[in-house]
Structure 1
Amino acid sequence: MRITLPLTLAGAALLGLSACSDQAGGYLDGGQFGNATMNNTLVQTGQRNYVIDLNERFAAAVPTTVTFGFNSDVLDGAARDAIRKQAQFMAQFPEVRFRVYGHTDLVGSNAYNKALGLRRAKAVVAELARNGISRSRLEALVSYGETRPLVVTQDPERRNRRTVTEVSGFVSSAPLVMDARYAEIIHREYVQSATAPSDLVDFGSREISQGQ
């Protein structure tokens, strides 16, 4: 009892602090790279740390979030520009997969907002595809709807009406991935601007046409 009681009190205190944090600032997307099953797969295959590193690099290089008008999944000029920059980054890492998460504000029912969030995610995936990224590398399967607001308010809030794009893993059939050489992918140099389809980019010992 002398040991159990302090541990119980400590656990309760941690839960209390966690609840206060959620109520005060809302949830800032950490993503956790999808669901628990996918996270376990990344750990078991040795990919997780590389996925985290590349996701941080992606977030530092380009805007990963785009926002939407009220009750809308239409991409405006700023959103299309952000997605274009995302696509330029993605083009430099053909072995990498990405996932787009859809969110809404707190106005409306959870069921409606979940569907709206998913439509927003699909709109971003479609725009990435129009910018040359293969749909086989993109997912828009998860929508958090209204459950993860950046700003906790019942009023319309544009910052909550967003999608967030993240690195989710590696293409299993890619040559480097088949050899488990994830570090070569992570440390590859990439260009900030779009690469012409006819150009060749040197990926270590290989040359891959961007037109393929």
Structure 2
Amino acid sequence: MKTNLKIVFATVSALSLAACGEEWGTEAGSWVDEGGFGNPTMNNTMVQTGQMVIDLNARFAEQVPTMVNFAFDSAVLDDEARAVLRRQADWIKQFPEVRFRVYGHTDLVGSAAYNEALGRRRAEAVVSYLVSQGISRSRLEALVSKGLTQPLIVTPEPERRNRRTVTEVSGFVQRHPTVMDGKYARIIYREYVASATEAPPSNETTISQISDAGGG
């Protein structure tokens, strides 16, 4: 009987050693590292300190038109552009912790120097309108003109789709208490957090309350 038990124990031990494979003799939990343990920590730190805005920028682009277009050789906002910018302003107001940058673009007609200046005027027009809608100028970062260097449609002819500005999330307001407190998820999923809160009690009068009160 003892011999049989020794055989069983030896078999179990052998199977256990085989299961361990290359990890036999290494520190417990070392498999979690996988050679890149520092990268998740680094990414999390970057998110918490406001250096990563990929999630918010993706949501901004999904929920709001990010571009407005202009007439040829013009930085004047038409009715369609102002309507888009009002939607942008409404979205921006929901996230007081976030900063934005406006990029100005032109089509390929004209010189590079002229179009760089024109792209900047278009970006300035957009920023001015957003400020008129209640957005703090301090949250709208340095204006950047791309001029004619990034056309959507490559053509030497006048092209309205290239004459545009693009608004993007660029970072977080420095020293904002929500960001510095590490509540990044609360910023990203604010509406989900709000929807999960308990509904206030109803003030409706019940039938039993009416009966107790009397009257007729």
Question: Do these two structures clear the TM 0.5 threshold for a shared fold by scoring above it?
Answer: yes
Separation of aligned partners in 2, 1:43 and 1:111 = 41
Q: Does 1:125 align with 2:127?
A: yes
DSSP 3-state at the match of 1:100: strand
How many angstroms does 1:184 deviate by? 1.1
Q: How does 1:1-212 map to 2 (within 5 A)?
A: 45-46=46-47, 47-49=50-52, 51-189=53-191
Evaluate the alpha carbon distance shift between residue 119 and residue 140 of structure 1 in structure 2; reply closer, same or farther with a 3 A threshold. farther
The answer to which structure has the higher strand fraction is 1
Evaluate the alpha carbon distance shift between residue 77 and residue 119 of structure 1 in structure 2; reply closer, same or farther with a 3 A threshold. same
DSSP 3-state at the match of 1:180: coil
Provide TM-score, normalisation by structure 2.
Answer: 0.66
Evaluate the alpha carbon distance shift between residue 145 and residue 43 of structure 1 in structure 2; reply closer, same or farther with a 3 A threshold. farther
Provide TM-score, normalisation by structure 1.
Answer: 0.67
Contact in 2 for aligned 1:96/1:170 (Cα 8 Å): yes
Separation of aligned partners in 1, 2:169 and 2:121 = 20
How many angstroms does 1:45 deviate by? 3.3
How many angstroms does 1:180 deviate by? 2.7
Separation of aligned partners in 2, 1:44 and 1:102 = 32
Separation of aligned partners in 1, 2:162 and 2:85 = 18
The runs of 5 or more residues in structure 2 that have no matched partner are: 1-42, 198-216
How many angstroms does 1:174 deviate by? 1.2
How many angstroms does 1:140 deviate by? 4.4
DSSP 3-state at the match of 1:144: strand
Evaluate the alpha carbon distance shift between residue 43 and residue 121 of structure 1 in structure 2; reply closer, same or farther with a 3 A threshold. farther
DSSP 3-state at the match of 1:163: strand
RMSD value, Cα: 2.1
Aligned residue pairs total: 151
The answer to which structure has the higher helix fraction is 2
How many angstroms does 1:79 deviate by? 0.1
Q: Match for 1:87: what amino acid?
A: A
How many angstroms does 1:128 deviate by? 0.2
How many angstroms does 1:48 deviate by? 4.4
Is the radius of gyration larger for structure 1 or structure 2?
2
DSSP 3-state at the match of 2:190: coil
Separation of aligned partners in 2, 1:82 and 1:61 = 12
How many angstroms does 1:181 deviate by? 2.0
Separation of aligned partners in 2, 1:65 and 1:120 = 11
How many angstroms does 1:189 deviate by? 1.1
DSSP 3-state at the match of 1:143: strand
The runs of 5 or more residues in structure 1 that have no matched partner are: 1-41, 191-200, 205-212
Evaluate the alpha carbon distance shift between residue 44 and residue 146 of structure 1 in structure 2; reply closer, same or farther with a 3 A threshold. farther
Percent of aligned positions that are identical: 66
